[in-house]
Structure formats: structure tokens, C-alpha cells
Amino acid sequence: MGSDVELRQLEHFVAVAEECHFTRAAQRLHIAQSGLSASIRSLERELGAPLFSRSTRQVRLTPEGEALLVEARKTLSAGDAARDAVAAVRGLLRGSLRVGSLQCLHAVHVPGLLAGFVQQHPGLEVSLRHGGSGELIDLVRTGRLDVAFVSRPRPDPGEVVLRPLDREPLVLACALDHRFAGCDEVKLQDLADERFVDFPPDWSTRDLSDRVMAEAGVERRVTLEASDVHSLLDLVAYGLGVALVPQSFTRKTDRARFVPLAGDLPTWETAAVAADPTSTAAAALLHEVGVFADGMAADGVFANGPDVPSA
């Protein structure tokens, strides 16, 4: 990237890329559309490549634009981190903090965490996005989120900072009248003929269940998929299938039975992932996670005890 490229031009470029429309991007940036168009043309001349494919109906990124978008977001995040660092010296946290999270997270109670954090830093604009772990990690990696609370992937992802949070065993969830409901434990091999309910592919809990069953030599049938925990447990409760779920799900309903699994099996792990470099606001939130998690453990919230390194 040439030395004449300015952060302002990158901000303009990212806005157009995200809005796919010059007029909407100009409105978002509160500048004239003619000035935005001139800024993008100047950036294209500096880089020696077209960044957008323009037509009367839509604006699309070119391959060169796709490549630039990832780096532009990282550069803007680094600029934000520099401003945040200066503000932190003065005892202030300003700007924005973009947080991602699984919908149901046992290790950290995200609403409570964010409520306390916003109260401590009223000048900070905090946003929250739910999604699957793979999607959220990719958003952190590409600079669209500052930090996310996810199922820990295997292998650990590159280009992000990863901090382990908690681990817990998988259990079998089944209907109250299921043949396994009264068992003390169930072997994975006994599940060969069962129908399964699970999350969509790319969700780390689904990946873990697939791996656990494959390592046990059991081919399973996932006949129904749900994109949230409560829907999954409802499907199980109505006898539409069984599911392998983290032990903490036992607290979410009394309409299903949860049975331990036999054998030494991999655990479900959660982690916080942050952009590299980590913004000052994200680092402050991760510090609060340690304090918050320790407080929850003292109150008996954790079943297995968190594995949270000191900040």
C-alpha cells in the first residue's frame, strides 16, 4: 500500500464496501457523494487497481477490492487501538467496542458483563452480535469484531488472540420417555440407530459432536438442525431426536433428560478471541471477564470451575 493512502480514504472505502452503494455510504459518513466518489477514485489511482465494479444498480468489490477490505479493516482497527491507548492514559475509554457471542454461553454471562462495562465506560459505544463460532472468529480475524466469546475451535485459529474460558463434558439429551432416560450413563456405540438433533455445520458444538462420534466409529444421522439452544432442546423434548450437548444445558429445561456419556471423551471448551493487535477497549473487557468469571465461580455459578488466566 502506497504511503499516500490515508486512513480517511480507507474509512470511505470500507463504508462503500459494506453498503454496496455510494449514496448510502455517503449518508453514513455524512459527506457529499461527489466527495466520496473522488476519494475512492484517488485511492484507486494510488493503488493502481480498480476496487469496485460499478453499474447503474449495484456496486461490487473487485478481487483487488476484496483483498484490500481485509487489510483496510485491520488498519482502521489499529488506528482505533492507538487512539484508545491515548485515551486510556487519561482514564477514558472512547470510541466503539464490537462484541460477538454465542447465544447461550455458560462461561460468561454476557448481558451482565456488558451492563457493568458500559456503566464503567459511558463514553464507549458497545455493540453485540450473535452467531456461530466459525462466523464470529472470522469477523474478529477480518476486523469486523473486536472480541468474541465462542466455542474453542480445533486447531486454534491463527491471526487472533485466544484466551481459554471454560471446559465441560458432553452429555446426551433425550426425551423424558426415551429408552435411555433412566440410564446412569450411555455408550456412544449405543447411539448408532438414533436420530440426532444438532446445530448447523460450522458451529463448534456440531463439529465436536461429529468428531466424537466419528472417533467412536459411529455414523450418525442428523435429521433436524436448530440455530438456537432452546429450539434444539424443544425438538429433543418432543422426541424428534437426541443430541450431544454441553453439561451446562441441563439448567435450561426440565422437559428433557440429560444422561452422562461413558468413556474418556473430549470436552466442550469455550474461549474469548480478540483481534491482533487487541484494542484497548477489548483488552479492558477481557480483564473484566477474569473478574466477572471469578465472581461467578465464588457464587457457585460454574459447574466445573473456569480456566481463566489473569489479564
pLDDT reported for residue 302: 34
> How far is residue 147's CA from residue 150's CA, in Å, rounded to a whole number?
10
DSSP letter, residue 261: B
Q: Answer whether 94-165+269-298 and 170-266 agree in fold.
A: yes
Q: What is the pLDDT of residue 239?
A: 96
- Which residues have CB under 8 Å from 197's CB, separation 6+? 222, 223, 224, 225, 226, 232, 235, 236, 240, 241, 242, 243
Assign 3 to helix, strand or coil. Answer: coil
- What's the pLDDT score for residue 89? 47
Per-residue confidence (pLDDT) for residue 83, from 0 to 100: 64
For the domain made up of 94-165+269-298, the CATH class stated in words is: alpha beta
Show me where the domains of the chain are located: 7-73, 94-165+269-298, 170-266
What pLDDT is attached to residue 88? Answer: 57
Q: pLDDT tens per residue, the chain (311 residues)?
A: 444 568 888 989 999 998 888 888 888 888 998 999 999 999 999 899 999 988 767 789 999 999 999 888 888 877 766 666 665 544 556 678 999 998 878 888 899 999 999 888 888 889 999 988 888 998 998 888 999 999 887 777 778 888 889 899 999 999 999 999 999 999 999 999 999 999 988 777 888 899 999 999 999 999 999 988 899 999 999 999 999 999 989 989 999 999 999 988 888 899 999 988 888 888 889 988 875 554 434 343 333 333 332 22
Cα–Cα dist 211/233, whole Å: 21
What was the pLDDT predicted at 23?
87
CATH for the 170-266 domain, from 3.40.30.10, 1.20.1560.10, 1.10.287.1080, 3.40.190.290:
3.40.190.290
Which backbone phi and psi does 221 adopt, to 5 degrees? -110, 115
Report angle CA 208, 209, 211 to the nearest 5 degrees. Answer: 65
Cis bond before residue 277 (omega within 30° of 0): yes
Tell me 255's DSSP state. Answer: S
End-to-end CA distance of the chain: 35
The pairing of beta strand 268-275 with beta strand 147-151 = antiparallel
Give residue 310's pLDDT.
28
The per-residue pLDDT for 100 is: 95
CA 29 – CA 298 distance, rounded (Å): 46
DSSP letter string, 96-159: EEEEEE-SS-SS--HHHHHHHHHHH-TTEEEEEEE--HHHHHHHHHTTS-SEEEEEPPSSPPSS
Fold of 7-73: Arc Repressor Mutant, subunit A (1.10.10)
